[in-house]
Chain A
Amino acid sequence: MTDLRLERGGRVVLRDIALSVPRGSITAVLGPSGSGKSTLLAALTGELVPAAGTVEVFGEPVPRAQKALLAMRKRLGVLLQGNGLLTDLTAAENVALPLRTHTDLPDAVIRRLVEMKLHAVGLRAAADLFPRELSGGMARRVALARALALDPPLMVYDEPLTGLDPIASGVVMSLVRRLNDTLGLTSIVVTHHVHETMPIADHAIVIANGGIVFSGTPDALAATQDPLVRQFLDGQPDGPIAFDTSRTARAPEAA
Chain B
Amino acid sequence: MLRATIPLVVIFLYSGAYLSAQVDSRAAEIEAARDRKAQTLEPDTPTPTEQRLVYIRDKKVLERITAGIAGFRVKLGGLASGSGFAVGPEYLRRDLWNRRALFRGAAQASLRRYQKYDLQFSVPPVARGPYFLELTAVHRDYPQINYYGPGPDSKKIARSNFRLEDTQSNGTFGVRPIPHLSLAATAGYMLVNVGPGTDERYVSSEQIFTPSEAVGIADQADFFRSGFYAQYDYRDNPGGPRSGGNYFVEYNNYSDRTLGLHDFQRLDIEVQQYVPFFNKRRVIALRGRSTLTFADESRRIPFYLQPVLGGSDDLRGFRPFRFYDDNLIVVNGEYRWETFSGLDMAVFADAGKVFPRRAQWNFKDIEGSVGFGLRFNVRNNVFLRTDVGFSHEGFQVWIKFNNIFSEGPVNAPHTQLGF
Q: Do A and B bind each other?
A: no
| Interface, chain B (partner A; CB < 8 A) | none
Binding site for B on A (CB under 8 A): none
